[in-house]
Amino acid sequence: MSTTIVSSEVEKLAEIPLLKRLSTEAREQLLRGATKKSVSRGEMIFFQDDKADAFFIVLEGWVKVFRATSSGDEAVVGVFTRGQTFAEGAAFTNSNYPASGEAVTDSVVLCIPVAHLANSIAADPNIALAMMSSLSMHLHQLVLQIEGLKTHTGAQRVAEFLLNLSTEPAGSCTLVLPYDKALIAGRLGMKPESLSRAFQKLKSYGVEVKQNRAIISNVQVLNTLVEQERTVVMHSSHG
């Protein structure tokens, strides 16, 4: 189901990073052609190689973007949540989607059509600069992700994932895992059995996983583990 954006919602959307970079006028111009779309868990938002007809901003829930491999597996490119944009590269260059997008929880996404984006950029070129800034940020995140796959151990990747979910700088906390463990494994470039081993290793650092919850006894201990393992891996790679 799709609905248009009403004026009272525009102000709330101003906090979204991409829209925050725009003037009030440019933001209103871009949102004028946007629609809100509710998508159910498991519903496809777009398919790999389809002509890009829109880009998206997550308003609620979680969305994964993935490529299908020749062996039939999925390579998870990214998992996005509230305030994050996806597929803007294909929309900005008016090309095909290089990957597929699927809701992994019941979600609400803001859909901005390519034709409207082009008209909006013509009306205010600063929108193009905001899009380029967003694309640059995605590229930076991908570089960090590749670095993590090459230099971080499985336990460290999982520890960092948990720390990124935590809002507590210290002490104990309980986190709800935002999506299933198979997707967490894919997001971290691991097999499900490797993820299980990493969770097992993290038990000795005060992390207990019960169904969809992770109980961290001391956030600082987990931070120390991440830094220690980064140092060990870097030293061994230079040895």
66 close to 58: Cβ distance less than 8 angstroms: no
Coil, helix or strand for 61?
Answer: coil
Q: How far apart are CA 174 and CA 44, in angstroms?
A: 31
pLDDT tens readout for residues 167-225: 888 899 999 999 999 999 988 988 999 999 999 999 999 999 998 999 999 999 988 88
Higher-confidence position of 141 and 231: 141
> Could you tell me the pLDDT band of residue 235, with boundaries at 50, 70 and 90?
very low
Concatenated DSSP letters of 3-39: EEPPHHHHHHHTTSHHHHTS-HHHHHHHHTT-EEEEE
Say how far residue 212 (Cα) sits from the centre of its chain: 19
What is the predicted pLDDT for the residue at 64? 96
5 close to 36: Cβ distance less than 8 angstroms: yes
Distances (CA, A) of 105 to 39, 62, 113: 8, 6, 23
Residue 236 has pLDDT above 60, yes or no: no
pLDDT tens readout for residues 69-81: 888 788 898 999 9
What is the predicted pLDDT for the residue at 233? 46
Residue 140 has pLDDT above 90, yes or no: no
